[in-house]
Amino acid sequence: MQDTIVLTGASGFLGKIIADVLISQKNEIISIGRQYSNTIISDLSLNSPILIKKEINTVIHAAGKAHSIPRNDKEIKAFFDVNAKGTKNLLTGIENSGSFPNSFIFISTVAVYGKEDGENINEDSPLLAKDPYGLSKIQAEQLVLDWCKKNNVTCTILRLPLLVGENPPGNLGAMIKAIKKGYYFNIGGGLARKSMVLAEDVANILFKASKIGGIYNLTDSYHPNFFELSDSIAKQNRKSRLFNMPYSIAKSISLFGDVVGLKFPLNSNKLKKITSDLTFDDSRAREVLGWQPSNVIDWFTK
């Protein structure tokens, strides 16, 4: 039986992959955000409460302003306008439409924990984010939790780390570009481990997660280090040599960056992030959802 699914963020990196999976399963999609394709029956905006004139089964809220460093108050406000206010507009619009879904999936982020280092951080860890991105996602999570409880809707929140897939945005995209151009280098051997997850795996677990509900970290369960990741990307692009910068040299450069400011590519804060482990525990997803993710290193080397 065909389901009618509201999908926000269908034109984004993860949203496109989710839309492809849903369409392949013959679902009818109502897109909220920028247009994805002609197969989607409508194109709405989250700038104000929306009105959905159809019975819907599931909402997948994948739209949001991605992680970046805001340079002014306007950019700080944008995080809350998109991530928190946009979520409120979505929930208000659904409520005004009078057609409540059976389930609501919110795509969140591990940034809500506010951690720059740590190992196997689980879903019971306190939400300590202080940056606009993390704070706005915390607010959005709470809005969704309260709304679903009030309206007896099964609620699923997925907290995601770095997303891996074809032509990724953000830091991973910049890393791939640097490796292709020959100017990427690891620091201190690239030994810091980071949680990542394949976007396609996230898309494929949504249907099952929507029926069960709960809050879950999703990772590839392996958490590669920078050397493993960069080496795999280099081999995929037939690049044989990667450079390494000793930590002592990077530390001296970062101190100079502290003086110069944000425009400089390295400072003490960035150095700490690059050289610290930051991994998240996905055992709850494996136990409850039967989560069996792909190793991202295998994906790069396939």
Domain count, the chain: 1
pLDDT above 80 for 34: no
Q: What is the pLDDT of residues 222-231, one digit of tens each?
A: 999 999 999 9
Q: Is residue 275 part of a domain?
A: no
What per-residue confidence (pLDDT) applies to 41? 42
For residue 248, give every residue at least 6 positions away whose Cβ sits within 8 Å of its Cβ, in sequence order, or none.
Answer: none
What per-residue confidence (pLDDT) applies to 66? 83
Q: What is the pLDDT of residues 78-124, one digit of tens each?
A: 889 889 999 999 999 899 888 899 999 999 999 999 999 999 999 99
What per-residue confidence (pLDDT) applies to 33? 66
Q: What is the pLDDT of residues 238-269, one digit of tens each?
A: 887 789 999 999 999 999 888 887 677 788 98
What is the Cβ-side half-sphere exposure of residue 131, based on CA atoms within 13 angstroms?
18
Domain containing residue 145: 4-165+196-219+280-294
pLDDT above 90 for 296: yes
Q: How far apart are the C-alpha atoms of 226 and 79, rounded to whole Å? A: 28
What per-residue confidence (pLDDT) applies to 260? 81
**Burial profile 133-147: b = 16 or more Cβ within 10 angstroms, e = fewer:** bbbbbbbbbebbeeb
Average pLDDT of the chain is 90
Q: Is residue 252 part of a domain?
A: no
Q: Is residue 48 part of a domain?
A: yes
What per-residue confidence (pLDDT) applies to 147? 97
Q: Is residue 302 part of a domain?
A: no
Confirm if 187 and 131 have CB atoms less than 8 A apart. no
Pairing type for strands 28-32 and 43-44 reads parallel
Q: Is residue 235 part of a domain?
A: no
What per-residue confidence (pLDDT) applies to 226? 96
CATH of the domain at 142: 3.40.50.720
N-term to C-term CA, the chain? 35
Q: What is the pLDDT of residues 125-160, one digit of tens each?
A: 999 999 999 999 999 999 999 999 999 999 999 999
Q: How many other C-beta atoms are found inside a 10 Å radius of the C-beta of residue 87?
A: 25
φ/ψ (deg, to 5) at 108: -110, -155
Q: Is residue 241 part of a domain?
A: no
Q: Is residue 301 part of a domain?
A: no
pTM of the model: 0.93
Q: How far apart are the C-alpha atoms of 262 and 70, rounded to whole Å? A: 11
φ/ψ (deg, to 5) at 267: -140, 180
- Coil, strand, or helix at residue 103? strand
